Each structure stands twice: as structure tokens, then as C-alpha cells.
Structure 1
Amino acid sequence: MAFNQPLGGNDMPRFGGIATMMRLPQAADTRGLDACFVGIPLDTGTSNRSGTRFGPRQIRTESVLLRPYNMGTGAAPFDHLQVADLGDIAINPYNLLDSVRLIEEAYDRLLANPVIPLGIGGDHTMTLPILRAIARKHGPVGLIHVDAHTDINDTMFGEKIAHGTTFRRAVEEGLLDCRRVVQIGVRGTGYSDDDFDWSREQGFRVVQVEECWHRSLTPLMAEVRERLAGGPVYLSFDIDGIDPSFAPGTGTPEVGGLTVIQALEIIRGAYGLDLVGCDLTEVSPPYDASGNTSLLGANLLYEMLCVLPGARG
């Protein structure tokens, strides 16, 4: 069969063409696809700096710099997977709960076919409705969650649904296999030790950023693969897991974060797991004057594609 290929820079200048992810063809649905990119232009759930509604568009724009072959890992995902960009989910910018419903219903539709979705965010509220749809198809999943924050608040300003409550709601709703959840890169100041300890009480492996400083994360990912093996896994990567010196374009930056190299080690280290979906959240282009945060987001999404089941033949 003929696989979709990104539009090359020698066929169309990188500043030209339609801004799909890596300038892939856009598809109306997931029929015949092995994997897909889908934008979720949401920032109604943010609590500090907004702007993540512009994340999907800018990440796609910066993705023109990517080429199809991964020189670091040897992965050539477009030779083995049929991939397309589904465009954006039409959220409701005036109503967060309605947006959550719309995202959940959109994922139910796309998961009607055997496809692995890669969500382009968008604030981290989006992962809750995604996990609802994923769990309906696959059952409770393991989770690799890279973030400066655990996102396990009970409420934010009295609200149960927001970008900082996502994974507490996911636990309460039975969407996660808590024995197979790892949170990596969490750090910063908090309100109490419960900000991290609640996760541990659920059975999560919580890797505070201090465990990551000055070292390769390849050994950590060997541990993660062992812990998460044997069932479906979802990968959710908040760009603020990366230190703001590398990724300033985000709403809730925290100093002392992961390096870009460590981010690559984490994603590449997920190869071999039964990944059933991924997302990249919290890129806020208004705070990304150079475009580097969006460029990093595009690269991380590409790296996720490269570790999906079947991506290496």
C-alpha cells in the first residue's frame, strides 16, 4: 500500500503549503489510518497564563522543519504507518464542561477505528475526556505523565474540572491502572506535601525532578518499561515538564525542570510499550516569542509517533 508522506522541503518551500502536522494530508476521519494527529485548541481550563488555544496551530507551523526519518533512532514511521492530520476538534470557547464533552465525543468517533491518536494541545484539561474515551475502548490504562505538576488537585476555585484536576478525576473515574502510572519531572513549590503524596498513596511512581538532575534518564525508563509492561499505556507530556529556559511558552512555568535531551530519553524510552495514545499539552504561543517552545512540541510529537507500535516495522 502507499503510505502518506510529509510534504518535503524540496517539493514545497518550508514556508509554503498548508500547515498540517509535518504537512501531512488532512483526513476527515480515521478510516484506514494507523495513527493520527488531532488538534485540541483549548485554554478555558488554564489557571494562570492563557494562550494554549493557539498551540495546535503554531506547533503545526513549526513542524515544517521536521523530516520523515529519525536519525537518532532509525525510525521511519511513515514507511510503516498510515498517518494523517484530522484537523482540530471544535471546542466551545465559552464553556469548559461543554468542551470536555465535545473532546470526549470526538475521541469516541475517531477510536471507532483501530487508530492511535496523538493530541496536540491545548491545556491539560483535555486529557481527562481523552482518557474517558481511551478507557472505554481499552479499559484502565497505564500512564506516563511528564509534567512540572501532578495535576491531582481536588478543586480549583471550587471547580472539579480544570487543567490541575485531570488525574485526580481520572483516578476517581477508574480510567487508570494506578499500579502502572509514573509521573516524571514534578517540582516547584506547593501548598502541602499532599501535592505529591496523594499520587503516591494511589500507587503512582512519582519521580521528582531532583531525581533527574545531572543524569541520563535511560535507566529510569528501563524501570518504567518494566513497571508499565503488560497492558495499554497512555503518554501525556506537558511542555512545562521542560525547564522554562528551553520552553518558556507555557502558562505555568517552573524552574529547575527537565532538559530537552531528557525529554527525548523519556519518549524514546517508551518504545516497546503498548502505547494506545499520546498528547502534548500546554504550549502557549503568546509567551513563545522565538517559536522554540512550539518547535520543541512538534519534535516531541514526532518522537511519540516514532515509538508507537508498528512504527519501526
Structure 2
Amino acid sequence: MYQPKDSSKSPRFTGVRTFMRLENIQTTEDVDFVIVGVPFDTAASNRVGTRYGPQHVRNFSVLLRPYNPDQEINIFDYCSGVDYGDIDVVPGNIHRSYDNIVEGLKPILDNDITPIIIGGDHSISLGNLRAFYKKHGPISLVHFDSHGDTWDNYYGEKYMHGTPFRRAVEEGLIDVDHSIQVGMRGPLYGPEDIEDARDLGFEVIPMKEVRKLGQEEVLRRIHQRVADDRPVFVTYDIDFVDPAFAPGTGTPEVAGPTSHEALEYVRGLDGLNIVGFDLVEVLPAYDHGEITAALASAIAFEMISLIALKKRREKSLELSSQNTSY
């Protein structure tokens, strides 16, 4: 059973920085989840530096404790997890980096372990989805972002951080009939920047509509869209959040959710059959006072909490089944 160091006995400022002070070990034995860094950012169109996102989030995450009072669960009563380290990306070569992502995630997915992947720019999601496709086939996608990332190209380039989900649809990686995008906002080149995603098959709830509907209704629509027990991949761009709460990102858009709302959207995914997450676009150079790192580490913590909640339900069902068999 792998769990964090006890910071009441070992000061947080000691030791090698890992997520939540978990052990840094590449193992697939006795593990329910792993933290994986993918420090690739050479597909960004504006500010670069998200290659340092994984270590920035890890640095702040040492403040996290194992009990989640909002979900009323001690994660490590039900889960074992490690910091698996980083995928060896190739700076400037997105295709070799994709190959490394697929290869690096394979033993994790083959052993039914849930990865929480920290980027890196949003282009990494295409590599992640390729890996999940090999395990699950076309997968449902729940996408929180201020941008749809379904553009056809940037500067004539097909593989950028604004294009991964168009490429994923073209490659058949996503079950678009059961996928949804939430939070799109800000100035665009034209209405097609939103409509293209709908034409590809996604349900899209722009931020203007999110505000009208309210968080509870948006979460209901997410659950309704995914439906049944389909495997789900959750991709969370930190620029989904208003830059007042997450300034450290490459393409910030105003008028987004608060940090409280950002966490509630993750908590509200409980009950979905989530098999993987990624959290992308954290850019340390613009993160004044580590505001973004604080939120990003909390989002990842809530993702881990969802895994623990799922394990607790499975354990409860198992005990119930044993009791009724007597």
C-alpha cells in the first residue's frame, strides 16, 4: 500500500518533490492510481513554459493532506498510489513525443491503473487518447476548457495545442456521441470556432450558457451525455478557470469559473466510469504567488478523491454481496 509521507512527522520541506509526497517509483503492483508528468510544450501558440508545469504542481502539492472533508473520505483508506515520474518527451518533436506517451502509459493502462497526467500543453491529450484507445477503443471525453481545441490547424500545422480533439475525432479515438465540452468563451475568429466542435459531434456548453444553466444543471447534462457505464477520460485545461484564480497559463480568458466552482465541477463527476485524467497548461512563469499551482494541485487531489470514492463503492458492493450469500 503506497501513501504519502506523514507531514506531521516529516516536514514538508524535506525530501525529493513528488506529488503529495508520494513515493517516486515506476511500479504497477499494488497501485490504484499514478501521477504522471508529460512536460511537453512546443506545440503552444502563445506563451511557452508549461514544460515546467508538472514540477510546479508537484512543488505545491506537498501541502495536501489525505482526508478530503468535502467528499468525506480518506483517500488512502481505499487507494494506493505513487508518483510515477515523467514521460521522456522529445522537445520540438511532437510525433516522437506522442509515441513515448503511448508507450509510457501502456503498462499503466494494461494493469487497470488510473493515471492522472499533468502537462504540458494541451497537445499532449492526443497522445493520451491514443494510449486509451488501445485499451478501451473509442472513449467518452469530458472536456473543461475556455477553448474547444478543435481547430484544423495553426499556421498550417496540424498538430498544435489548439487541434488535438479534431485529430482525435479524425483518428476515431473519441466516442463523440457521448462526449461534451464545457466553458468555451472569449473572442473568436468566427462562429465556426464553436460550431466546428458541434459539427464533429460534441455537445458544447459555452460559458455564457453555463452561467444561465447553473452548475448543477451543467453537471446533470455531463452525466446524461456520457450515460451508462462507458469509460470516460477527463481533460482539464487550467485556463477553464478565470485568470483571477489561475493566472499561470498560456492563453488566459476572462469571465471563467472561480476556484470553488472549478473544484465543484470535478467533485460533481463522481459516479462516472472515469479511467483517466489529464490536467494541462499550467505555466509557472506567470503564476504569481503560486495561485495556479495551489488550484491545480487541488484539482488533481479531487481527481484522486474520485478514484477513492469509486473504490469505496466497489468495496461496499463486495461486502454486501458476501453478506447476502450467507
Fold match by TM threshold 0.5:
yes
Which residue is 2:111 aligned to? Answer: 113
- 1:242 correspondence with 2:241: yes
Point out 4+ residue stretches in structure 1 off by more than 6 angstroms: none
Structure with bigger helix share is 2
Deviation at 1:149, TM superposition (A): 0.3
Contact 1:145 1:236 in 2 (8 A): yes
Does the 8 Å contact 2:87/2:101 carry over to 1?
yes
Q: Which residue of 2 aligns with 1:161?
A: 159
Judge conservation of contact 2:263–2:298 (CA < 8 Å) in 1.
no
Report what 2:199 is aligned to: 201
Q: CA RMSD in A?
A: 1.4
The letter of the residue matching 1:67 is R
Aligned to 2:287: 288
Q: Tell me, what secondary structure is at the counterpart of 2:172?
A: coil
**Whole-Å separation in 2 of the counterparts to 1:58 and 1:16:** 16
Q: Distance in 2 between matches of 1:208 and 1:142?
A: 19
Identify the residue that residue 68 of structure 1 maps to in structure 2: 66
Separation in structure 2 between the aligned mates of residue 115 and residue 262 of structure 1, nearest angstrom? 28
Aligned residue number for residue 34 of structure 1: 32
Distance in 2 between residues matched to 1:75 and 1:43, nearest whole Å = 35
Superposed, 1:1-313 pairs within 5 Å as: 3-213=1-211, 216-230=214-228, 231-308=230-307, 309-310=310-311, 313=315
Q: Alignment partner of 2:88: what SS? A: coil
CA distances 1:1-57 after superposition (whole Å, capped 9, x unpaired): xx3221122121122222111001122232331111101111111110001000000
- Deviation digits for residues 225-245 of structure 1 (CA, Å, limit 9, x no counterpart): 122122010000000000001
Cα offset, 1:167, TM superposition: 0.3
Change (3 A) 1:62 1:215: farther
Per-residue deviation, 1:295: 1.3
Q: Between the two proteins, what is the percent identity of the paired residues?
A: 44
Do 1:218 and 1:265's aligned partners in 2 also have CA atoms closer than 8 Å? Answer: no
Which amino acid in 1 is paired with 2:65? R
Quote how far apart the aligned CAs of 1:130 are: 0.6
Q: CA deviation at 1:98?
A: 1.6
Q: Which amino acid aligns with 1:138?
A: H
- 1:53-73 superposed Cα distances (whole Å, 9 cap, x missing partner): 000001001001111010111
TM-score under structure 1 length normalisation: 0.96
Gaps of 5+ in 2: 316-326
How many angstroms does 1:182 deviate by?
Answer: 1.0
Do 2:108 and 2:114's aligned partners in 1 also have CA atoms closer than 8 Å?
A: no
Q: Distance in 2 between matches of 1:129 and 1:4?
A: 27
State the shift of 1:215 in Å. 7.0
> What CA distance in whole angstroms lies between the structure 2 residues aligned with 1:80 and 1:222?
27
Distance in 2 separating the partners of 1:218 and 1:299: 20
Instruction: Give the CA deviation at 1:103.
Output: 1.2
Cα distance in 2 for partners of 1:300, 1:21 equals: 12
Q: Deviations over 1:265-297 (max 9, x none)?
A: 211111010001001000000111211101111
Question: Distance between the aligned counterparts of 1:99 and 1:142, measured in 2?
Answer: 23
Give the Cα separation in 1 of the matches to 2:312 and 2:13: 28
Alignment-mate amino acid for residue 310 of structure 1: K
**Alignment TM-score, normalising by the size of structure 2:** 0.92
* Distance in 2 of aligned mates of 1:246 and 1:292: 7
Unaligned runs of 5+ in 1: none
**In 1, Cα distance between the equivalents of 2:306 and 2:224?**
16
